[in-house]
Copies of this chain bind each other. A is one copy, B any other.
Amino acid sequence: MVGVMTNTEPASTGTPAPATGKLGVLLPGVGAVSSTLIAGVLAARNGGASPIGSLSQLEFLPNPADKTTTGPPIRDAVGLAHLDDLVFGGWDPISANALEAAETAGVLDSRDLAPISGELEGIVTMPAVFDSDWVRNLDPVRVKEPTSKWDAALALIDDIERFRSEQNCDRLVMVWCGSTEVYKPAGPVHATVSSFEQGLKDNDPDISPSQIYAYAAMMTRTPYANGSPNVTCDSGFIEQLSIEQQTPIAGKDFKTGQTLLKTTIAPALRARLLGVRGWFSTNILGNRDGLVLDDPDSFKSKEVSKLGVLHDILGPEQLPELYGNMDHEVRINYYPPRGDEKEGWDNIDIFGWMDYPMQIKVNFLCRDSILAAPIVLDLALFMDLAARAGESGVQDWLSFYFKAPQLTPEQSAPEHDLFVQRDNLLDKLVAWSR
């Protein structure tokens, strides 16, 4: 273990320390999502657009007397960092700065970029740790060329500390907004911190770039949230590091379009005890994400992430006659005409009284980055809050934001129901409110 900021005290959760000074938000992957996030925060800071979709900015705490959100605004009631105190940084293999990223992504109209183009251009990306064995179909142009994965880790740690110092940050958080990696579950090299560090030195091919970022985050005590389906944090070494470094982790895979609706509708079918015979989900998208997922090995990561939700919500073991014979298929198709405007089409085959069949079809014309940006903002602020409260390990109270919530050691199954996830999130915030 490299000798930065190690902490061997047991984690303790309590009243969060106040949010003072600057909070650095480090983004591995400055593409569509990151640039949309940054643009929106800058616009909000300049008095423009409201940060729509962000609970940290717009939601209220529950009223203890009932279940309605008629309590005080979250951002006042729990001490969150202010938008004015955020400083953005990141790494990208393609775009040199946030303006270039935004223009390449094509998510935002030029009229929305114009007033903040200077600020965006000033957010220069650092060259990325990149490996085309792990992320397919991209042509990287701005990458580090370390002699080993160990050197890559040291370079990232150096980047982080330099950013902290140059930007005069009081605290940092990291939210992975990079590409989906090829699917490969954790192996022996990921078992412990020492096996992982040896693997870094051995240039072990089983170690992916995102794991190196997460390692660097932990070593610098930077909370790490994983917005992709990568298995980055699903392994022993990172959970061990999270505890040792008293640095929270969270993941995985932002719950934006199709799965957001799936975890809304499935609980309703379960609530009404309507049977489900099949659920066919297809997606078309044309952004960088879609291009990467066009590789079958990378799609595997996403598929695994997306397939679990129905089982956990519907519970076929308890109600086999309703949910025991269900075909759940998920397809993702790279389709350039859509760009970032990801579109989902779900066909749901249900049955009711006397086994009569019915169908629900949902067509979601969404925008991937528009839905993801407020999630990144919330995760950055809530992960910082958790760190200030002394949390470590998996932050399962943030499952509301993820397609495939990571389990804590105590959990046997993830919570997928959007509404239960929300209750859990708000309960935690109430506990930390003053």
| A interface with B by C-beta (< 8 Å) | 36, 39-40, 43, 49-55, 58-60, 67, 69-70, 107-108, 110-112, 260-261, 264-265, 267-268, 271-275, 277-278, 280, 282, 284, 318-319, 321-322, 327, 329, 331, 333, 335-338, 343, 345, 347, 349, 351-356, 358-367, 369-371, 373-374, 400, 418-420, 422-423
Contacts of A349 in B (CB 8 A): 337-338
Contact of A364 among B261, B354, B360 (CB under 8 A): B360
CB-based contact A108/B354 at 8 Å:
yes
CB-based contact B337/A277 at 8 Å:
yes
Other than A49-B354, A54-B353, give 19 A-B pairs with Cβ distance below 8 A.
A40-B353, A40-B354, A60-B318, A111-B111, A264-B268, A271-B419, A271-B422, A278-B335, A278-B338, A280-B284, A284-B347, A327-B336, A337-B349, A358-B365, A358-B370, A358-B371, A360-B362, A360-B363, A362-B362
Contacts of A278 in B (CB 8 A): 335-338
Interface of A is mostly: mixed
23 contacts between A and B (CB under 8 A): A36-B353, A43-B354, A52-B273, A53-B274, A53-B352, A54-B353, A67-B423, A261-B360, A271-B422, A277-B337, A278-B337, A327-B336, A329-B333, A331-B331, A337-B349, A338-B349, A345-B345, A353-B369, A353-B370, A358-B364, A358-B367, A358-B371, A360-B366
Contacts of A319 in B (CB 8 A): 58
CB-based contact A370/B354 at 8 Å:
yes
CB-based contact A353/B371 at 8 Å:
yes
Distance in Å: Cβ of A113 to nearest Cβ of chain B:
10
Contacts of A418 in B (CB 8 A): 268, 271
Distance in Å: Cβ of A47 to nearest Cβ of chain B:
14
Distance in Å: Cβ of A72 to nearest Cβ of chain B:
12
Contacts of A67 in B (CB 8 A): 420, 423
Contacts of A277 in B (CB 8 A): 337
CB-based contact A282/B365 at 8 Å:
no
Contacts of A264 in B (CB 8 A): 264-265, 267-268
Distance in Å: Cβ of A15 to nearest Cβ of chain B:
26
CA distance A39 to B271 in the complex (A): 23
Contact of A360 among B359, B365, B400 (CB under 8 A): B365
CA distance A351 to B272 in the complex (A): 29
Distance in Å: Cβ of A405 to nearest Cβ of chain B:
15
CB-based contact A275/B52 at 8 Å:
yes
What residue of chain B has the Cβ atom nearest to residue A364's Cβ?
Answer: B360
What residue of chain B has the Cβ atom nearest to residue A422's Cβ?
Answer: B271
CB-based contact B335/A329 at 8 Å:
yes
CB-based contact B51/A353 at 8 Å:
yes
Please give me the 4 A-B residue pairs with the lowest Cβ-Cβ distance, nearest first: A278-B337, A264-B268, A361-B363, A359-B365
In the complex with contacts A260-B268, A275-B52, A333-B329, A358-B366 CB distance below 8 A = yes
Q: Counting chain B CB atoms within 10 Å of each CB, which of A69, A265, A278, A356 scores highest?
A: A356
CB-based contact A353/B337 at 8 Å:
no
Contacts of A373 in B (CB 8 A): 353-354
